[in-house]
Amino acid sequence: MSIISMRNVSKFFGDFQALKDVSLDVALGERVVICGPSGSGKSTLIRCINRLEAHERGEIIVDGTTLTDKPDDLEKIRGMVGMVFQQFNLFPHLTVMENLCLGPRRVLGLSEQEARARAMKHLERVQIPDQAEKFPRQLSGGQQQRVAIARSLCMEPRIMLFDEPTSALDPEMIAEVLEVMTELASSGMTMIVVTHEMGFARRVADRMVFMDKGEIVEVGAPEDVFVAPQSKRFGTFIKQILNH
């Protein structure tokens, strides 16, 4: 039973076709890593899943609900799907605690006390409970990204989307974010991760998806595709990534 089902999804930016008839199923609890050269459509693909981008053709079904502009359906799906961005996108005028409590308070209708308790639980999970009263700019990039992960988790999503979560980080901070993501994966969260971190992909992914020019070129288990990529394009890409 797949929790996300994408059928022949196409997305255009003006004349440019960012996604070309893409189909992908993700099972509950599955960890999918999407990689590919820049401009291949991998970010667009996951941004379509919570409708930060609206697809023009095809169908996306999340947990039985078809994604349309209908506010009720959209709300239902966004409530199920959390997202972590490359640039963190924390709310700079709010403290860490306020960043985490905003959604639970306003969307889920939790009381102040419940929201704070939940926020604290997730801050402990991402290992920065002591930064609760600070503002985002007082934290390092790695800490900010972990706050962003906690902010998503506070909405108790069933699916987490990661859009190049470590690409804006200094090398020494990548590990701490990947560690949190690995822990999340081992807890059974359904995850779709766009990343170039091949070590992480190898450790965590159930499936690797390779995209190029708006198409899914290859899908396979990491232990297979890294050793013997089926397509020439994926082979070249992996070589470039691993040798750089």
Binding site for another protein (CB under 8 A): 50, 52, 75, 78-79, 81-83, 85, 87, 89-93, 102-103, 106-107, 135, 137-138, 148, 151-152, 154-155
* CB nearer to another protein: pick between 52 and 241: 52
Angle at which helix 112-125 crosses helix 141-153, to 10 degrees, equals 130
Smallest distance, another protein to C-beta of residue 118, A: 13
Q: What is the DSSP letter of 31?
A: E
Residue 23, SS3?
strand
Strand partners, 59: 7
Smallest distance, another protein to C-beta of residue 205, A: 22
Chain center to CA of 71: 22
* CB nearer to another protein: pick between 32 and 77: 77
* CB nearer to another protein: pick between 50 and 190: 50
Smallest distance, another protein to C-beta of residue 149, A: 12
Q: How far apart are CA 241 and CA 244, in angstroms?
A: 6
* CB nearer to another protein: pick between 131 and 152: 152
Torsion sign (Cα): 237, 22, 24, 163? positive
Strand partners, 9: 22
Smallest distance, another protein to C-beta of residue 123, A: 16
Strand bridging mode 16-27 / 2-13: antiparallel
* CB nearer to another protein: pick between 32 and 101: 101
Smallest distance, another protein to C-beta of residue 238, A: 30
